[in-house]
A and B are shown apart, each in its own frame.
Chain A
């Protein structure tokens, strides 16, 4: 596993250096490999949640925008996963607001069919969720990964919406710290 990481590290660094010079083919290959790596990274930590693909694509866009900040003399993985961690937590933070806004503008029926809460969410392999305290895990799982609204999640757990918001906030803070601790 460590050898694979080192091989990836070197190859990704070389591909990025080539992409920084304008090589489209190398860049396409790099983004393909990074897309798969990011998906695997997120799946291992949060399970197979609904919006995983959105999260991967947001990370790829952020990597594209930030590609000039990578220095080939430095390690690639810390640079990559600092961006992925940031985009993931940022994505979870914005998701609730985005879903609420989207549902207000959609036909209720269409909205219901499109984002059925709880659908396709498998967290059996979610290492990071397993490290969170139960209350934080439930909050993150229901609202950010399974797509329930804050009020729906709060009523499921028999707590107030304010308490739910506090739990989500703390869960995200804890999740960010755990993700950062992996790479520092």
Chain B
């Protein structure tokens, strides 16, 4: 006589359908990162030009260049971390520490900037609605990621995954506003970084709700 576990195993393996994993989770995350950047850059440029002389500033101020590169690396590491948390056992402690270190470094740049800013504070290039632009550019990529993650992956810690998706998506417009809007540390923290972080709360709430909704839907 079969035990209940044997019966379960027989039922699960009966008429087994192929379930191939597709492309790697890291590759998926990088594709999302690139497409999100395309969206953020396009939308920002549609709404207004870059700050005058920003390319020269990048070339002549090593501090500004390093600050920007750290921000870019942070957005990439947060993206990979977010997608890896949506796959059981994929996120390593080393990668989590790397992301945390980059986040601390990036924020430290701005704290140091209160004493020694990378660029001379200026109103040049000021955008009237940079706060709302950052909010707006963060949402669509993060909602797309939430939908893909909820439908295709298995985020065991949905709040954490949602938060990381939001932070990854929020870092991109927050960083790009450094090139498109005025450079002044308080303005950057309040108008560019803060909305990027605040918007992270939305996918943190949306992802668990999506998972509940999808779980309730009957299997086709």
Report yes or no: B90 in contact with A79, Cβ–Cβ below 8 A. yes
A77 to B89, CA, bound (A): 8
Residues on A with C-beta less than 8 A from B8 are 57, 60-61
Across chains A and B, the number of contacting residue pairs, with CB separation under 8 Å, is 90
Report yes or no: B89 in contact with A78, Cβ–Cβ below 8 A. yes
CB-nearest residue of chain A to B88: A82
A61 to B7, CA, bound (A): 12
A4 to B22, CA, bound (A): 29
Question: Do A71 and B156 form a contact, CB below 8 Å, given A20-B19, A22-B18?
Answer: no
- In the complex, whether A97 has a CB less than 8 A from a CB of chain B is no
Residues on A with C-beta less than 8 A from B17 are 22
A57 to B24, CA, bound (A): 28
CB-nearest residue of chain A to B8: A57
Residues on A with C-beta less than 8 A from B9 are 28, 31-32, 35, 60
How many interface residues does chain B have, given as a range? 20 to 34
Report yes or no: A64 in contact with B21, Cβ–Cβ below 8 A. no
Report yes or no: A82 in contact with B156, Cβ–Cβ below 8 A. yes
Mark B88-116 against chain A: 1 for CB-CB distance below 8 A, else 0. 11101100000000000000000000000
Residues on B with C-beta less than 8 A from A82 are 88-89, 156
A70 to B21, CA, bound (A): 7
Give B67-93 interface residues, CB cut-off 8 Å to A: 87-90, 92-93
Smallest beta-carbon distance B173→chain A, Å = 30
Residues on A with C-beta less than 8 A from B14 are 24
Residues on A with C-beta less than 8 A from B4 are 53, 57
Residues on B with C-beta less than 8 A from A28 are 9-10, 13
Residues on B with C-beta less than 8 A from A61 are 8, 12
Give B7-35 interface residues, CB cut-off 8 Å to A: 8-10, 12-22, 24-25
- In the complex, whether A116 has a CB less than 8 A from a CB of chain B is no
Main secondary structure of the interface of B (DSSP, over half): loop
- In the complex, whether B210 has a CB less than 8 A from a CB of chain A is no
Report yes or no: B89 in contact with A27, Cβ–Cβ below 8 A. no
A61 to B153, CA, bound (A): 16
Report yes or no: B12 in contact with A68, Cβ–Cβ below 8 A. no
CB-nearest residue of chain A to B156: A86
Main secondary structure of the interface of A (DSSP, over half): helix
Report yes or no: A67 in contact with B19, Cβ–Cβ below 8 A. yes
Smallest beta-carbon distance A182→chain B, Å = 12
Of the residues B5, B10, B153, contact of A69 by C-beta under 8 Å:
B153
- In the complex, whether B154 has a CB less than 8 A from a CB of chain A is yes
Residues on B with C-beta less than 8 A from A77 are 89
Report yes or no: A53 in contact with B5, Cβ–Cβ below 8 A. yes
Question: Do A75 and B89 form a contact, CB below 8 Å, given A82-B156, A83-B156?
Answer: yes
Mark A8-40 against chain B: 1 for CB-CB distance below 8 A, else 0. 000000000001111110011001100100000
Report which residue of A53, A64, A183 has the largest number of chain B beta carbons within 10 angstroms of its beta carbon.
A64
A81 to B15, CA, bound (A): 26
Residues on B with C-beta less than 8 A from A27 are 12-13, 16
Smallest beta-carbon distance A91→chain B, Å = 13
- In the complex, whether A1 has a CB less than 8 A from a CB of chain B is no
5 A/B residue pairs, CB under 8 Å, sorted by A: A20-B20, A24-B14, A27-B13, A57-B4, A82-B89
Q: A24-B15, A28-B10, A68-B21 are in contact. List 6 more A-B contacts (CB 8 A).
A: A20-B20, A68-B19, A70-B21, A71-B90, A79-B87, A82-B88
B residues sitting closer than 8 Å to A (CB atoms) are 4-6, 8-10, 12-22, 24-25, 87-90, 92-93, 152-154, 156
Q: Which 6 A-B pairs have the closest CB atoms?
A: A78-B89, A82-B88, A82-B89, A68-B19, A22-B18, A79-B89
